[in-house]
Amino acid sequence: MSRKLLEEISRKAFRFYENSRGSHDWSHTERVYKLAMRIAEKEGADLEVVGMAALLHDIGREEQDKSKGSICHAESGARLARALLLELAIAEDKIRRVIHCIETHRFRGHKRPQSKEAKILFDADKLDSIGAVGVGRAFQFAGEVGARLHNGQIDIHQTESYSKEDTAYREFTVKLCRVKECMLTEEGKKMAEQRHRFMEEFFRRLNDEAEGRM
């Protein structure tokens, strides 16, 4: 990808983050981009497709947040990205490949990644949700929705998203603990193992401290 095109896509994508929450702000996109490019180089993927998809993958996030989850940001983001890439006169075949990446990057999405590039974006996005960064983001999101600090003794299955019980621990139990099993690339799997071990130890200690055992 040419530097000029990269800068133009970044500039256009950044506009969608003016009102973004900290847990899904532009810095998340920057981290996903770096992870995706690292994995793409290891996996021998199309760096241009991966780069464009990574920069644009979350531009539909604001619509999802406003709807409290009823709108899928992967679907709305794909629609917005297509319009943006058409403005830049990107070839239709390349747009189609980028859109597939964006449509299938969501953990809870209904469409699954088929191409190598889509699998790479999926893994990069998931890696940023686990490990030390993932723990930090989980607490940040919990604060954004007004959740309490911890609920280690509650039945997680009786809790709801965007509620006071939508804690970082709930996110770990419901989603983050399963992320490493969903990785699709060899490089992603290696990185996920390390990040997963960190989270397990962190939440074990959090439970112990919260119960006064440490």
Q: Are residues 144 and 96 in the same domain?
A: no
Q: List the Cα angle 163/202/185 in 5-degree steps.
A: 90
Residues 133 and 107 in one domain: no
Decide: helix, strand or coil at residue 69. Answer: coil
From CA 103, how far away is CA 147, in angstroms rounded? Answer: 29
pLDDT, tens digit, for every residue of 137-170? Answer: 999 999 999 999 999 988 888 999 889 999 999 9
Residue that terminates a domain, selected from 84, 111, 138: 111
Whether 173 has a pLDDT exceeding 90, the answer reads yes
Same domain, 192 and 150: yes
Q: Please report which residue ranges of 67-185 form alpha helices under DSSP H.
A: 73-87, 92-103, 116-127, 131-144, 168-174
Q: Is the pLDDT of residue 123 over 70?
A: yes
Q: Which of 79, 111, 143 is a domain's end point?
A: 111
Q: Are residues 106 and 2 in the same domain?
A: yes
Rounded to an integer, what is the distance from CA 134 to the centroid of its chain? 10
Confidence of residue 52 (pLDDT cuts 50, 70, 90): very high
Instruction: Show the domain range for 178.
Output: 129-214
Pick the more confident residue, 30 or 67.
30
CATH number at residue 158: 1.20.58.1910
Question: Is 72 strand, coil or helix?
Answer: coil
With 60 as the cut, is the pLDDT of residue 67 above it? Answer: no
Q: State the pLDDT at residue 23.
A: 80
Give the CA distances from residue 190 to residues 105, 121, 128, 142, 194, in Å, rounded to whole numbers and listed in that order. Answer: 19, 15, 14, 28, 7
